[in-house]
Amino acid sequence: MKQSELFTKTLREAPADEQSYNARALIQGGFINKEMAGVYDFLPLGLRVLNKIIAIIREEINGIGGQETFLASLQNPELWKKTNRWDDAVYDVWFKTKLKNDTELGLATTHEEPLTNLLRRHISSYKDLPKSIYHFQTKFRNETRAKSGLMRLREFIMKDAYSFHADEEDLNDYYEKMKAAYTNIFKRAGLGHLTYLTFASGGTFSKYSHEFQALTSAGEDIIYICEKCRVALNREIIEDVQHKCTECGNDKLKEEKAVEVGNIFKLKTKYSRPLGLVFMDEEGVSKDVVMGCYGIGPQRLMGTVVETLHDEKGIIWPEAIAPFRAHLLSLNKNDEAKKIYDDLSAAGVEVLFDDRELTAGEKFADADLIGIPYRIVVSEKSIKAGGVEVKKRNEKEAKIVETKDIVAVLKQ
């Protein structure tokens, strides 16, 4: 894409009304726009990153048998009354609305109730189990503190997956598969080195649930990590358990700030029972379906990447989720650069081509701010030196690459 045609502009200064680094950098770079606290629009650069994160998640969840759906975001209170979650005193994050005739509706905070209910029409026998169903869909939550940019939104996309099983053993097996898929997702998105499988409180029926916590000073959670086993305990559960690593018994755990980028939870029959999702087992006995649920916030993940992977000049995107692979900067050499742009594009390399009438300094500053992994500079100087200058965003030194080799160097 030609940068001269991109409708978004970078800002000289980060917005003064944002407290969090991720919101400041993403607004300054033209990735997102703030509508109000906790509510952001995704602009072309930001949407490209978000879509790449979503594609990674989709691939991993499809890989363990997930079937993608798209459930509605307007929800029927009757289902939520059956599970006692319509009551604001019990569940306090609702945005509620009304039809013209005063009938109440809810804006989705999560989707256990409608999905469990709809499966009553599709699951009747043990032969219909197991099933794994997910979607990427908008959630609305009336969060009290929405000061962390993309990390705590009032309107956000969640990948929520739900699994349905005949017994707990089968749930346990699938839960382990999901754990492995989540580990891959965070690794592929560039957060593997910062993400810890964290024991958290389990709610009603299970002893523990697991959170995937990424270390960042911008996080709102406190966790205690065992560096050797790469697992952690959430402070919330620390009262119930010994202050010891669950794997090796190490009692010298390190306190860190972190953000929950995903979680996995054994619901068992918490929702199937009140909503009446049952099946006939092999003996013809009616039983409650056993469930698990698994969430990830792709926008929170994106915000966490920005918080943790940047320097004083701007964002440093991991290659797998960068808006483009290469940022081609023409310093008054648009004809030569256009040829390289065409060659790279033809080879399937995603390039942002800075063909604007700006100074070299302005172009370099924008490139650092936007944070695309490879910067290619075409200038009088590079041409004299035999080609183009290539620099990785996370490295200091540039090297000269012959123009004929540029496609080979940039291709994955």
List of residues contacting ligand ATP (CB under 6 A): 141, 143, 152-153, 156, 158, 260-263, 295-297, 299-300
Give the SS3 label for residue 307. Answer: helix
CA 379 – CA 329 distance, rounded (Å): 8
* Closest CB to ligand ATP among residues 141, 270: 141
Q: Which residues contact 48 (CB under 8 A, 6 or more apart)?
A: 323, 324
Q: Letter for the amino acid at 145?
A: R
Find the shortest distance in angstroms from Cβ 243 to ligand ATP: 22
* Closest CB to ligand ATP among residues 22, 330: 22
- Region of 43 (left: φ > 0; alpha: ψ -120 to 50; beta: rest) is beta
* Closest CB to ligand ATP among residues 94, 341: 94
Find the shortest distance in angstroms from Cβ 221 to ligand ATP: 7
Q: Letter for the amino acid at 81?
A: K
Our separate counts of H helices and E strands in the chain read 11, 23
Find the shortest distance in angstroms from Cβ 366 to ligand ATP: 28
- Region of 282 (left: φ > 0; alpha: ψ -120 to 50; beta: rest) is alpha
Find the shortest distance in angstroms from Cβ 192 to ligand ATP: 16
CA 283 – CA 197 distance, rounded (Å): 39
Find the shortest distance in angstroms from Cβ 117 to ligand ATP: 19
Q: Are strands 67-68 and 286-288 parallel, antiparallel or unpaired?
A: unpaired
Q: Which residues pair with 209 in a beta bridge?
A: 200
Find the shortest distance in angstroms from Cβ 300 to ligand ATP: 4
CA 219 – CA 224 distance, rounded (Å): 13
Find the shortest distance in angstroms from Cβ 295 to ligand ATP: 3
Q: What share of the chain is helix, strand, coil (3-state, %, to 5)?
A: 30, 30, 40
CA 310 – CA 299 distance, rounded (Å): 17
* Closest CB to ligand ATP among residues 133, 351: 133
* Closest CB to ligand ATP among residues 90, 408: 90
* CB distance 166 to 281 below 8 Å: yes
* CB distance 165 to 291 below 8 Å: yes
Find the shortest distance in angstroms from Cβ 79 to ligand ATP: 18
Q: Which residues pair with 135 in a beta bridge?
A: 160
* Closest CB to ligand ATP among residues 261, 369: 261
* Closest CB to ligand ATP among residues 79, 337: 79
Give the SS3 label for residue 295. Answer: strand
Find the shortest distance in angstroms from Cβ 167 to ligand ATP: 24
Provide the edge-to-edge strand list for the sheet that holds 351-354. 351-354, 326-330, 374-378, 387-392, 399-402
